[in-house]
Structure formats: C-alpha cells, structure tokens
Chains A and B, each alone.
Chain A
Amino acid sequence: MPTSELTFLKEKHIKYFVHVLSLCPHQFQSEDSNKLAMVYFALTGLTLANPSDNPLEPFIKTENERLGYVEFIYKHLVPSGEGFRGSMTMELPASEGSTYDPPNLPATYFALCCLLILKEDYTKRLDRHKIMNYVRRCQVDEGYFRPTLDMHGSPFGDSDMRHCQIISSIRMMLGYTGGENDIDCDALEAYILSTVSYDGGIGNGAGEYFTESHAGLAFCGLFTLKALGRLTGEDPRWNKTKRWLHMRQMDYDSSQIHRQVELDENEYAYEEDHGGFNGRENKYTDTCYAFWVLGCLRLLSNTGDLLIDERALAVYLLGQTQHQFLGGFGKTNEDMPDPLHSTLGLAALSHIQHSAALDGLCVEKLHLGELDDTLVVDKQSKVFLDGLKW
C-alpha cells in the first residue's frame, strides 16, 4: 500500500472497543474463563485510542454506570478475599466451599488493572495481605509460579513466564515491598536469569532446559526484573539480548538480492510483512510482537530511545494488520481483530508516535494515549495508583 494512503482509524478503533466492552459474539465463549483479560484489553485499548481527560467517556457516560462496572469487577472476588476468579461463569455458591471456585493469578492481575482503569480506590475493599499470601503460595521452589492452588494448597496449572509479570504487577498494585507475605524475589530473579537462551532471547524453562526464545516471554521476564529493581539496561550481560530483540524486525526488501533469497527460501516470510516483528526466529510477523519487543527495548534502555525502523513498523501496522472495516487490529493481515492484538497494536504505535521518522506518513499525525512502562496500564491509571494509600 502506498504510504500516502495510510490512515489511523481512530474513530473505528474507539467503536471497536466500545463494542467489545458491550457485547462479544459467541466465538469468544472459549475465552470465557479469561473474561477479565478481555475486559482489561478492551478498557486499555480505549484509553490508548481516545487520549483525553476522560478516555472511557465513549463507553461510560455517567458516574452510576462507572460504579456499576466497578461492582461487576468486585463480583469476581472470591468469598475468602484471596483473589479473583476469571469469570462469573466460574462462580459457585459460597456455601459449597472454595475447592472449585478458587482465585487465580491472571484473573487477580486483570481485576486489579481494571479497577485502576475505572479509577476505583480498592484499598478500602481488598485485604492485600490475604491476596499476597495466596500469591506467595503459588510460587514453587524453582522460583516460578503456577496460576492457582489445588484443594491441598499446592500450586497447580501450567508454569509460564507470563505469571511472573502478573505477580510482579500484583505486588506493585498492592504496594508490597517486603514483609512476611511477600514472594521470594531472589528465587524469582534467579529463575528468570536462568531462562536466557543461547541466542540471547528468553524462553520459558529454567536453567538446563534451554527453551526457545520468545519475544512475549522475554517481555514478561524483563518486565519482572525491572519491577523487582533488578534490571540495569546498561549491564553488558544484556547486549546479546538487545541484539536478539533488534533482529525481530523483519527486512523483506526484495530489491536486495539476499532478501529475495530469504523470501524464496523461508516459508514464513512475506514481502508485505516488511517492517513487522516476529516473536521467534523464522516465524511469521504478528501485531503483538511489535509491542513485546518495543516494550523490552524500553525496559533495557535508559534513554527510551528505540533503535528500530519506526516508519516501516507504522506502515506494517497501519497498512497490514489494522482492520480497515471493523477497526482494531488482527494478529496478521488475514485475521479478524481481537481485543489483545488491537490493544497491543495501538500500544506499539503509541510507543513510536512521536518519532520524526513518521513525519508525513499519515493524513493526520498520530495521537494516542500512552502506557506506563512499569505497569501495563495507561499513564493516568498509574498516577491514580500512585495516589492510593493502604
């Protein structure tokens, strides 16, 4: 697509998120247990698409409506107060006990984020020590976390680097910096450092497992180290990681002979994906990896200066994965938009919007809300968090 035709579809994005926040088609049924994640992405997307003093205004018109949605989020708090469940579908009558209605860490994380974005002072309603006591017990000896506890109080579920980002964010949102219910930060740090792979990226398996580097997992790992105060971007130990991250932007300029060879040989390479980011070597580009990689680079940079080709990225996002009819962003140029990719597409654009490299690219200059780097919520919500007192 010639760059002069690129448009940032602000109004369509706003409509898309407003629509998702109201009604989702039955195809979202399989995501029901992660309902709060959907809510989080849609709310965050709206704050990015509609920067203003009241970014949620297209969806929430009155104070009463806001209070109603706040109560909707609180309904996900389990009776013991130890955390949140992912969806009201999972709620069981309190009289039946908590065996099959336990809180889980992702739901607790997304609930807290949603409350912040809705400007709710949860310090009055939540017992942060109870929540942290639950979180703490989900940590295993190797330092990582499982998402929930089983009926015997043992950590249960998949081990995933995403849980590390989730835990370090919960800890921050609950104002925890130590104490008897805190997690073992040393073990967590050691775990993350042990997942750095031979190519400099970060995978999902401890130490000798050498799991494949993956940009989303890299973000979660680096984010966690930063949140724990254990990441110094200037530390030369991260040079190889920085290299690996910069290699995620795809150069498919076919006028170069060696790139033509690449396009012919690599079944995952398409010329129109030029400028996009992939998450693993020799994989397709995907909207969300632009955000994960840019997020990593920001975490590793003291100046916030990104050494990527911002213009090529903007052309990819606006011209390929931005959905021209529905608004929002798909995973690739062949996918329908979904809340996660829509929000992360906007977040990536937000990170590069002030770059001079984008001059003259769009009909109108980009103007998006901004994410905080220490918590993946919009800056206003982070300021709101900073004002809370336990």
Chain B
Amino acid sequence: MAEFSYDDVTPLPISEENPQLCQILYKEEYKTTMGLLRALLAKKEYSERALALTERVIELIAAHYTVWQYRYHIVLNINRSILEELDWCEEIALENLKNYQIWNYRQLLIEHLLSQGCEEDRKRFSYRREYPLMQAMFDEDEKNYHVWSYRKWFVKKFGLLESPEELAFVDGLIAADIRNNSAWNHRFFISFGSFQSGAADPLITEREISYARMKIALSPQNPSSWNYLLGIYDFIKKDIDDLFEFASEYASYRVEDASVEPMIESVLALEVLARIHERKNPQEAARIYDLLGTKYDKIRVRYWAFEKQKLHV
C-alpha cells in the first residue's frame, strides 16, 4: 500500500455521532483506512491504488460484502489478470483462515474466467491449481466448513465426481483421522452425488458398504462411519436386517451367565440391533432401548424411552 499515494483523496470519516449502540473503540489505523475506502467508494474509483486499499480493508474486516464487490469491480475495470487475482486470493486465504467470503469470491472469479475471461488466461488456467490451496487449508483445519463447501463446488464444476484422485484424497483424510466427519461426508458426495436415491451404481454401493464396515471394525464407537453405513442403506432403500450379524459383533448384549458383563464395544451397534428388531420382534427392541437408557447411553434415557414407547409393546 505504501507505493501508492492517496494524498489527493479527502477521507470520508466514519460517523461516530451519538447516541449509538455497541460503540466500537476503533483503532486509529481502522478509522484512517475506512475513511479512505469510503472516499474511494463514493467516487467509484477503479484503480491500482483502490485495489491495494481493498486488500488492507479485507485484512481488517473480511466479512464486509461491499468491499468484496468493490474489489471485483476494480479487477474487471482495470483489466487485471484473473490469474493474478487468484494468486492474491491464495495468499489472503492462507493468512486469514477464518476469511469466509473469500471462497465465494474465488468461485466468482473462476466462473468469470471460464465464461468471459481473456483467451490467454483461460489457456493458462488449470483446475489443478486449486489442489494445493485446498490442501494447505485442510492442513490447518481439516474440518473447515467453507473449504469443504468450496471443494464440493469445485468437484461439480470440473466434473471430478468419479475422479480416482478425489477418492484417494478422502481416503487419505479418513486414514489420518477416522473420525473426520467432513471427509466422510465428502466421500458420500463423490460416491453417490451422481445418482438419484434408490438408483446408485451397485458396484459403488458394494465398495462403500464394505469400506464402512472395515472402518467400523477399526473404531466401533465412531458415529461417522455408522452414519455413513446406515446412510447408504437408506439411500439405496436397502433393508438393514442384513446388518444383524455385523452389529451383533460389537454389541453382544445377551449373555447366558448373569455374572458376566456383556461386551458392548459400540453403543451405535446396539442401537442398530434395536432398529432391526423393531418390526419383527418389538419386545426385543424394547429391551434394548431400556438397556441403552439405563446403562449404555444414559444421557439419552428419555429419548430411548420415547423410542420404546413408539413400539406400543
């Protein structure tokens, strides 16, 4: 910002007229920067120095919609290379991980580049440039909701749903942290995002069911993998009865000898058993709901009692 002069600009000071509510004790730097921004906004100045100023403002107040809009207009008006602007975006994203508007902005830039960008920029652009940025963001926070939303847009935009790379990417994240629910969610998206409910590819379905079962075996008490498994059953409208043996492995609640403590490795497996029994053997389902409420998942005692009461036994 130092390389530009704003001496000819008469700042428009921020109104600090009283009375007001939640008066913020602004720092001088903020008042100066916003005073300049307001003056340039009022003049609708589209220039290199205005571009530099928006960067400073975004560092101070990233959530401000108007400054993003203004920056976008500047970029278009001064014919800045969209590729350069994407480079800038990357730096800013990594500097401030909580900068949420940037992902919407980046989408806007890429959409513009692809539909109206100059030919040279379009030739030089490859969707692959997005990978390192997203990776760097996930290295900082592997559950960043905004980056995950961006990734989904990206996958759709560039037709990467079936790309083996995408599957390897989520697989890597789940291998690193089996409880990364965002990664599980992305896995569902890439596996079933091209299909209508009830009409998934049987090969993919089979692959994903065995994947989920394998991951449950590694961590039987992990809700992400159980939700995934049951989510597939629901999505393809498959009866959960055939999970009976699998779930029983992690919740052998029936013991012959009353002095032996049952092995409940997974409360979630126990719940699945109750769901399976609901239609054919509601008495048994009721018994399991009692066990959940009184012993294994006491915090939800009232919820399990409600589920039991729905059985009318």
- A interface residues, Cβ below 8 angstroms from B: 20-26, 28-35, 38-39, 42-43, 65, 68-69, 71-73, 86, 88-93, 96, 99-102, 104, 114, 147-148, 150-151, 156-159, 197-199, 203-205, 208-214, 240, 246-247, 249-251, 253, 256, 258, 261-262, 265-268, 274-275, 280-283, 307-309, 312, 339
In the complex the two chains form, is B149's CB within 8 Å of A33's CB? no
The CA-CA distance from A307 to B60 in the complex, in Å, is: 43
In the complex the two chains form, is B185's CB within 8 Å of A197's CB? yes
Candidates B20, B43, B156; contact of A209 at CB < 8 Å: B156
Chain B residues with CB under 8 Å of A214's CB are 145
Task: Contacts A90-B66, A93-B12 given; indicate if A309 touches B301 (C-beta within 8 A).
Answer: yes
Max chain A CB contacts within 10 Å: which of B21, B26, B69, B188? B21
One digit per residue, 1 when the CB lies within 8 angstroms of any chain A CB and 0 when it does not, for chain B 269-297 equals 00000000000000000000000000011
In the complex the two chains form, is B152's CB within 8 Å of A251's CB? no
The CA-CA distance from A268 to B181 in the complex, in Å, is: 12
In the complex the two chains form, is A246's CB within 8 Å of B303's CB? yes
The CA-CA distance from A214 to B182 in the complex, in Å, is: 11
In the complex the two chains form, is A198's CB within 8 Å of B65's CB? no
In the complex the two chains form, is A268's CB within 8 Å of B179's CB? yes
Q: How far is the CB of A2 from the nearest CB of chain B, in Å?
A: 19
Task: Contacts A39-B21, A101-B66, A198-B188 given; indicate if A282 touches B300 (C-beta within 8 A).
Answer: no
In the complex the two chains form, is B185's CB within 8 Å of A30's CB? no
Q: Does B104 contact A (CB under 8 A)?
A: yes
The CA-CA distance from A148 to B145 in the complex, in Å, is: 22
Chain B residues with CB under 8 Å of A267's CB are 177, 179
- B interface residues, Cβ below 8 angstroms from A: 12, 14-15, 17, 19-27, 30, 34, 38, 41-44, 60-66, 68-70, 73, 100-101, 103-104, 143, 145, 148-149, 152, 156, 177, 179-182, 185, 188-189, 192-194, 219, 221-224, 227-228, 230-232, 234-235, 264-267, 296-303, 305-306
In the complex the two chains form, is A205's CB within 8 Å of B21's CB? no
Q: How far is the CB of A140 from the nearest CB of chain B, in Å?
A: 13
In the complex the two chains form, is A99's CB within 8 Å of B44's CB? yes
In the complex the two chains form, is B152's CB within 8 Å of A33's CB? no
In the complex the two chains form, is A21's CB within 8 Å of B22's CB? yes
- Shortest 6 CB-CB distances between A and B: which pairs? A198-B231, A251-B299, A33-B64, A281-B181, A199-B227, A68-B19
In the complex the two chains form, is A258's CB within 8 Å of B221's CB? yes
In the complex the two chains form, is A258's CB within 8 Å of B266's CB? yes
In the complex the two chains form, is B22's CB within 8 Å of A251's CB? no
Q: List 13 A-B contacts (CB under 8 A).
A: A24-B24, A26-B27, A29-B27, A32-B30, A72-B20, A101-B41, A198-B232, A205-B152, A246-B300, A251-B299, A266-B179, A282-B181, A283-B181
Task: Contacts A100-B69, A104-B65 given; indicate if A210 touches B185 (C-beta within 8 A).
Answer: yes
Chain B residues with CB under 8 Å of A114's CB are 21
Max chain A CB contacts within 10 Å: which of B185, B219, B231? B185
In the complex the two chains form, is A69's CB within 8 Å of B19's CB? yes
Max chain B CB contacts within 10 Å: which of A88, A114, A199? A199
Residue of B nearest to A157 (CB): B65
The CA-CA distance from A262 to B27 in the complex, in Å, is: 45
Chain B residues with CB under 8 Å of A92's CB are 12, 38, 41-42
In the complex the two chains form, is A89's CB within 8 Å of B181's CB? no
In the complex the two chains form, is A33's CB within 8 Å of B231's CB? no
Chain B residues with CB under 8 Å of A104's CB are 65
The CA-CA distance from A275 to B14 in the complex, in Å, is: 45
The CA-CA distance from A113 to B19 in the complex, in Å, is: 19
In the complex the two chains form, is A209's CB within 8 Å of B14's CB? no
In the complex the two chains form, is B149's CB within 8 Å of A204's CB? yes
In the complex the two chains form, is B143's CB within 8 Å of A283's CB? yes
Chain A residues with CB under 8 Å of B297's CB are 251
In the complex the two chains form, is A30's CB within 8 Å of B44's CB? no
Chain B residues with CB under 8 Å of A203's CB are 185
In the complex the two chains form, is A198's CB within 8 Å of B61's CB? no
The CA-CA distance from A73 to B21 in the complex, in Å, is: 9
The CA-CA distance from A287 to B234 in the complex, in Å, is: 32
The CA-CA distance from A210 to B235 in the complex, in Å, is: 12
Candidates A43, A69, A150, A280; contact of B181 at CB < 8 Å: A280
In the complex the two chains form, is B189's CB within 8 Å of A210's CB? yes
Candidates A147, A210, A281, A307; contact of B302 at CB < 8 Å: A307
Chain A residues with CB under 8 Å of B188's CB are 198, 210
Chain B residues with CB under 8 Å of A250's CB are 299
Task: Contacts A42-B22, A100-B70, A283-B143 given; indicate if A253 touches B299 (C-beta within 8 A).
Answer: yes
In the complex the two chains form, is B30's CB within 8 Å of A29's CB? yes
Candidates A29, A156, A240, A258; contact of B24 at CB < 8 Å: A29
Residue of B nearest to A106 (CB): B65
In the complex the two chains form, is B219's CB within 8 Å of A211's CB? no
In the complex the two chains form, is B23's CB within 8 Å of A247's CB? no
In the complex the two chains form, is B299's CB within 8 Å of A26's CB? no
Q: How far is the CB of B35 from the nearest CB of chain A, in Å?
A: 10
In the complex the two chains form, is B303's CB within 8 Å of A308's CB? yes
Q: How far is the CB of A76 from the nearest CB of chain B, in Å?
A: 11
Q: How far is the CB of B96 from the nearest CB of chain A, in Å?
A: 10
The CA-CA distance from A197 to B181 in the complex, in Å, is: 12
Chain A residues with CB under 8 Å of B264's CB are 258
In the complex the two chains form, is B62's CB within 8 Å of A30's CB? yes
In the complex the two chains form, is B23's CB within 8 Å of A24's CB? yes
Max chain A CB contacts within 10 Å: which of B17, B223, B296? B223
In the complex the two chains form, is B179's CB within 8 Å of A35's CB? no
In the complex the two chains form, is A282's CB within 8 Å of B63's CB? no
Residue of B nearest to A147 (CB): B65
In the complex the two chains form, is A308's CB within 8 Å of B302's CB? yes
The CA-CA distance from A235 to B224 in the complex, in Å, is: 26
The CA-CA distance from A275 to B298 in the complex, in Å, is: 11
Residue of A nearest to B227 (CB): A199
New A-B contacts (18) at CB < 8 Å, excluding given A33-B64, A309-B301: A20-B22, A23-B25, A28-B22, A31-B63, A32-B26, A72-B20, A86-B64, A89-B15, A92-B41, A100-B66, A198-B234, A210-B185, A246-B303, A265-B219, A266-B179, A282-B180, A282-B224, A307-B303
